[in-house]
Chain A
């Protein structure tokens, strides 16, 4: 009972001190919170497209490349100006008025037609490491869009050519059917006309295939063979009236090669139909991606980082207030009272823990209500898990604050420690930079901070509805216990007789 009296008395005294310093609490707690919320609301975490001057070839005010692909140009870059004065454009770049200069090739279409690659030159001088790699990426993305559009147009033209070829092939097949029928009836005149019609169809098909370019190489050979056979059949029909009277056991259409030609062309038609059945969009991008989003929530940036902000605020509140609490008393010699009063360092520390954890939980609970009510942040997981994580986070953070407070040699230094802790959370807890992107030794800092575990666990529980990593939970509990032991050791050291 005596122990409880002392612990409660210390806790009440600490809470009274906190409540009698509202300005300090506001400055320490709500200040960083306001900054973080403003950051979260005001930032969409995306880089704007680079501002670019496009240098057009002299004498071409609006080159065809720009006209044809204006939409693609404007999608990926922000065009600040067009000019044919390359030096002027480079000067603007040097003065950092634009992010890049794009120099268009003078005759891109002709270059491509020659089978060469037409290049857009990109000049940039960005020194920001985070943006430096983005500028060529933006331009590559733009070039890729243009190339895709070019491919698409080409594919559409090819499809038209294939459809034309298919029509010609159809004509040739009908001519051959007529010829075979006429030959079968022994009507040489009709057969000849029909063969000539078929041959014309095959000739048209050959021309159509030329438009398909190298891709049609595989089907060009059977077409040429068919053409040769038809030429031969036409010649024999024209010259030898006895063709149909020749004592040959094979049917006349076989003798003239008409039946074989028809079979070849029929196979070719099947193949062409397969080509024409493929839309141009599929032809240029055969493998597509169909993303399916299965999360219960599609959070925006603020909502996604809300649990991390909660963890951050809980740690910052506890560390800041804890860091100031003990150093003030130590420097004011209040420890003299504790040294002679019948209160042990353990009881003193428990009383202070009780007050600061309770206060931190009140702040954390208030923020949770604000996040849920004001920003619509959901809690899909179990409430008791959220509470457990916040309590462990508060315990470990208060311990961290007390340890810093007992190490600090002045109140100013304690504040600096608290600010360093805040910077540590911002940079290393996964708030500003993802943990996956950190390397050693930064990861050591990351995984020394209670907020790192707290943020991860709260995100899992609140936004994903998961129980959270048991390992992280155990580490957080271990941190809380370890920092309590450290604080107790430091307090004993600070209160022992000199």
Chain B
């Protein structure tokens, strides 16, 4: 299947332009292999519609992140793709099969890490992983090395004798991930895999995800940590059951701000400077708000924020124009807005309400330390 634009998302996205999906041949000259294809997925529970017309595609060798606040339909989407739920509308194919009727061959290729802890609280860490391995035809009596490897990966080997019940929330997440990876799946569904993990371990997991990706595996992850979008190859932003935008993180950032963002700090900023750069080719806008005065914390003047089509090409022209206008430029650089800012902008452009703070999490503000 080939799809450049997610029709449902584009129709409702209004001003949000959904970037074209990558269909070009990769470095090896082969077209990407479709692992997940969802088209117009809908899900209702009674009269409550929790997912509206979600479409996406995940290829082999790709990390796809479904990002959105709590209740935006991320987990429902995963349940639909795993076959736990049947869609109320739309079509989904995973590894070429309908999730409602997965063959054992396909099931063996899928790993699933649920949002909550659904393993066996009375068993030890090692026994839990062994039990999960057994379900995937990886008997523990022939795969002790594999079990140790995944426990090492999630740094739980030393806790292998502890009962799952006695683990902290973060350790339980790691255990769930180990259980999902123990059979070396080709496709990993992971619902909030990094929730409650410390930054170091989170970094290790993302590193492992990238290794999986580089090995040709496909990963569909959800997260409430907006900044984790940076780690994904492609991101789908969901909000209130809808896909607001989909694309590479960099593309989404550009879409949110209307182009590249260049910040130029000048001495004594004035309207003359704004006018000097505002008329240049490739300049889309100059933020008026930044001319308001000095930064109260640093005491320095706030920079001019200029939205351009291409920062690398625009910066020399901008500097020249300012110099011509008599400005003394202190600093110049491309501003990379944090992804939560991108996300908020996209929602606002979509006409939605700003999501409540508690529903959007960033690691800097919402991290719960992992005792391990």
A10 CA to B130 CA, complexed, in Å: 10
A303 CA to B4 CA, complexed, in Å: 80
Minimum CB–CB distance from A73 to chain B (whole Å) comes to 64
Tell me which residues across on chain A come within 8 A of B120, comparing CB atoms. 13, 17, 334
A341 and B136 contacting across the interface, CB-CB below 8 Å = yes
Centre residue among A20, A338, A497 by max chain B CB count within 10 A: A497
Minimum CB–CB distance from B208 to chain A (whole Å) comes to 21
A8 and B139 contacting across the interface, CB-CB below 8 Å = yes
Minimum CB–CB distance from A12 to chain B (whole Å) comes to 7
B107 and A332 contacting across the interface, CB-CB below 8 Å = no
Minimum CB–CB distance from A16 to chain B (whole Å) comes to 5
A337 CA to B124 CA, complexed, in Å: 18
A341 and B118 contacting across the interface, CB-CB below 8 Å = no
Closest-by-CB residue of B relative to A20 is B122
A336 CA to B114 CA, complexed, in Å: 8
Tell me which residues across on chain B come within 8 A of A16, comparing CB atoms. 123, 127, 131
**B86 at the binding interface (Cβ < 8 Å):** yes
Q: Do A339 and B134 contact each other (CB < 8 Å), given the known contacts A9-B139, A13-B127, A332-B118?
A: no
**A333 at the binding interface (Cβ < 8 Å):** yes
A8 and B134 contacting across the interface, CB-CB below 8 Å = yes
A498 and B108 contacting across the interface, CB-CB below 8 Å = no
A342 CA to B111 CA, complexed, in Å: 11
Minimum CB–CB distance from A326 to chain B (whole Å) comes to 13
B118 and A6 contacting across the interface, CB-CB below 8 Å = no
Q: Do A334 and B118 contact each other (CB < 8 Å), given the known contacts A340-B83, A497-B86?
A: yes
**B137 at the binding interface (Cβ < 8 Å):** yes
Tell me which residues across on chain A come within 8 A of B110, comparing CB atoms. 340
Report the count of interface residues on A (CB-CB < 8 A): 26
Tell me which residues across on chain B come within 8 A of A17, comparing CB atoms. 120, 122-123
Closest-by-CB residue of B relative to A12 is B134
* Partner pick for B107 among A10, A342, A498, CB 8 A cutoff: A342
A10 and B127 contacting across the interface, CB-CB below 8 Å = no
A9 and B133 contacting across the interface, CB-CB below 8 Å = yes
A13 and B86 contacting across the interface, CB-CB below 8 Å = no
**B82 at the binding interface (Cβ < 8 Å):** yes
A340 and B134 contacting across the interface, CB-CB below 8 Å = no
A21 and B127 contacting across the interface, CB-CB below 8 Å = no
Closest-by-CB residue of B relative to A18 is B122
Minimum CB–CB distance from B38 to chain A (whole Å) comes to 15
Minimum CB–CB distance from B113 to chain A (whole Å) comes to 10
Interface hits, A320-379 → B, CB 8 Å: 332-334, 336-344
B83 and A339 contacting across the interface, CB-CB below 8 Å = yes
A342 CA to B134 CA, complexed, in Å: 10
* Partner pick for B100 among A6, A342, A344, A497, CB 8 A cutoff: A497
Minimum CB–CB distance from B242 to chain A (whole Å) comes to 21
**A2 at the binding interface (Cβ < 8 Å):** yes
* Partner pick for A5 among B86, B127, B132, B134, CB 8 A cutoff: B134
A145 CA to B364 CA, complexed, in Å: 96
Q: Do A336 and B118 contact each other (CB < 8 Å), given the known contacts A6-B135, A9-B133, A17-B123?
A: yes
B114 and A333 contacting across the interface, CB-CB below 8 Å = yes
* Partner pick for A20 among B132, B134, B163, CB 8 A cutoff: B163
Tell me which residues across on chain A come within 8 A of B309, comparing CB atoms. none
A341 and B100 contacting across the interface, CB-CB below 8 Å = no
B131 and A9 contacting across the interface, CB-CB below 8 Å = yes
Minimum CB–CB distance from B86 to chain A (whole Å) comes to 5
Minimum CB–CB distance from A496 to chain B (whole Å) comes to 9
A289 CA to B256 CA, complexed, in Å: 106
Q: Do A20 and B123 contact each other (CB < 8 Å), given the known contacts A340-B112, A343-B135, A497-B100?
A: yes
* Partner pick for B140 among A6, A9, A20, A341, CB 8 A cutoff: A9
**B102 at the binding interface (Cβ < 8 Å):** yes
Closest-by-CB residue of B relative to A4 is B139
Q: Do A5 and B139 contact each other (CB < 8 Å), given the known contacts A13-B131, A337-B132?
A: yes
A10 CA to B114 CA, complexed, in Å: 20
Minimum CB–CB distance from B114 to chain A (whole Å) comes to 6
* Partner pick for B86 among A8, A9, A498, CB 8 A cutoff: A498
A340 CA to B85 CA, complexed, in Å: 11
A497 and B85 contacting across the interface, CB-CB below 8 Å = yes
Minimum CB–CB distance from B353 to chain A (whole Å) comes to 30
A292 CA to B163 CA, complexed, in Å: 63
Tell me which residues across on chain A come within 8 A of B139, comparing CB atoms. 5, 8-9
| B83-124 near A? 1/0 per residue, CB < 8 Å | 111100000000000011010110110101010111111111
Minimum CB–CB distance from A18 to chain B (whole Å) comes to 9
Closest-by-CB residue of B relative to A21 is B122
* Partner pick for B118 among A9, A333, A497, CB 8 A cutoff: A333
Tell me which residues across on chain A come within 8 A of B124, comparing CB atoms. 20
A161 CA to B136 CA, complexed, in Å: 100
* Partner pick for A497 among B84, B116, B132, CB 8 A cutoff: B84
Tell me which residues across on chain B come within 8 A of A6, comparing CB atoms. 134-135, 137
Tell me which residues across on chain A come within 8 A of B163, comparing CB atoms. 20
Closest-by-CB residue of A relative to B165 is A20
A334 and B119 contacting across the interface, CB-CB below 8 Å = yes
Task: Jot down 7 A-B pairs with beta carbons below 8 A, ordered by A.
Answer: A8-B139, A16-B123, A336-B82, A337-B179, A342-B104, A344-B104, A498-B85
Apart from A13-B123, A337-B114, list 20 A-B contacts with CB within 8 A.
A2-B137, A8-B134, A8-B139, A9-B130, A9-B133, A12-B131, A13-B131, A16-B127, A20-B163, A332-B118, A332-B121, A333-B114, A333-B118, A334-B119, A338-B135, A339-B82, A340-B84, A342-B107, A342-B137, A497-B100
Residues of B within 8 A of A (CB): 79, 82-86, 99-100, 102, 104-105, 107-108, 110, 112, 114, 116-124, 127, 130-137, 139-140, 163, 179
In the A-B complex, the 7 residue pairs with the closest CB atoms: A9-B134, A342-B107, A341-B135, A13-B131, A342-B104, A333-B118, A497-B86
